[in-house]
Structure 1
């Protein structure tokens, strides 16, 4: 416990909404057919479900999933179900995850992303019967690798002081 503990400012709801919109816009980019492209919406949903479970929950995850279903032209509800499940489990473990440092948090986020991809795979197999191959699961590994950067980026506005004072340690 040698590292300093910071008191974070409350998360601005407009910043939360803007981060979800930016993540959605990143998912709209035309790199969806590449293998291993991170799911930015899932990553930001997990982040806010862990850090602000009272502001971002299952309802927002379901809505974002429906938006991704429409964009990806997948079975309506595939992404909605997987995002809802991942948000639910992230809320369940949010107190535990926050006790760990960021690299260890990545190890908690990876099974959530793997479960999300597994649910999507099961739905696709039930509907079409086509197995996309084992490289399909690279997406959850690359998405989890972005966890430290996303944590640093999304917590940055909460770390700043309201009125900067050089004599105050926080």
Structure 2
């Protein structure tokens, strides 16, 4: 793949780091902080990030399994989060080549519709199954998740960054 001018060459992602970050995001989601409608879904954010950057390692199956974990934890309709996460992962993998050509702030705008769609899927399933409407605060969650995209990108790509100054031991 041809790189954009000024784009930094990254080391391969360590699979242990990928799965550790997914498990850490799951732990953040299951912390007993209380579930508010505007609260961002950190696990969905990390699933989308790794589906974009490592689609061979984190795919629709992994997203579905993490969604089932969230369904069990929140005592939600079984498959509600799983369907939303699987759809998120599918659409993230679909746009991952195009998305990586944009700068990180532009990527945040590009993934906003994905997060809106995921929350719409969860809300539709909740309403169909007889749940109550959580309020208009649910509209803030996808916006907050897309605003967190640059921060998550910096944190999760940090172990892959190469040293910027070459010397005789690091020619690239």
- TM-score of the two chains, using structure 1 as the length reference: 0.92
Q: Which residue of 2 aligns with 1:108?
A: 110
C-alpha deviation, 1:160, in angstroms: 3.1
1: CA distance between counterparts of 2:131 and 2:6?
52
Q: Does structure 1 retain, via aligned residues, the 8 Å contact 2:37–2:135?
A: no
Matches within 5 A, 1:23-38: 23-38=25-40
Deviations along 1:61-120, one digit per CA (max 9) or x if unpaired, are 000000000111101100000000000000000011000000000011110000000000
2: CA distance between counterparts of 1:110 and 1:90?
11
Q: Which residue of 2 aligns with 1:80?
A: 82
2: CA distance between counterparts of 1:146 and 1:104?
13
Gaps of 5+ in 1: none
Alignment: residue pair count: 168
Q: Does structure 2 retain, via aligned residues, the 8 Å contact 1:69–1:75?
A: yes
Question: Over aligned residue pairs, what C-alpha RMSD do you find?
Answer: 1.9
Q: Which residue of 2 aligns with 1:49?
A: 51
Deviations along 1:8-38, one digit per CA (max 9) or x if unpaired, are 1111110000000000010011224234211
Gaps of 5+ in 2: none
1: CA distance between counterparts of 2:82 and 2:131?
20
Q: Which residue of 2 aligns with 1:159?
A: 161
SS in 2 for 1:146: helix
Q: Which residue of 1 aligns with 2:142?
A: 140
C-alpha deviation, 1:140, in angstroms: 1.0
| 1:67 is aligned to 2:75 | no
Q: Does structure 1 retain, via aligned residues, the 8 Å contact 2:9–2:162?
A: no
C-alpha deviation, 1:165, in angstroms: 4.7
2: CA distance between counterparts of 1:133 and 1:2?
42
SS in 2 for 1:20: helix
Q: Does structure 1 retain, via aligned residues, the 8 Å contact 2:8–2:161?
A: yes
Q: 1:5 aligns with which of 4, 7, 11?
A: 7
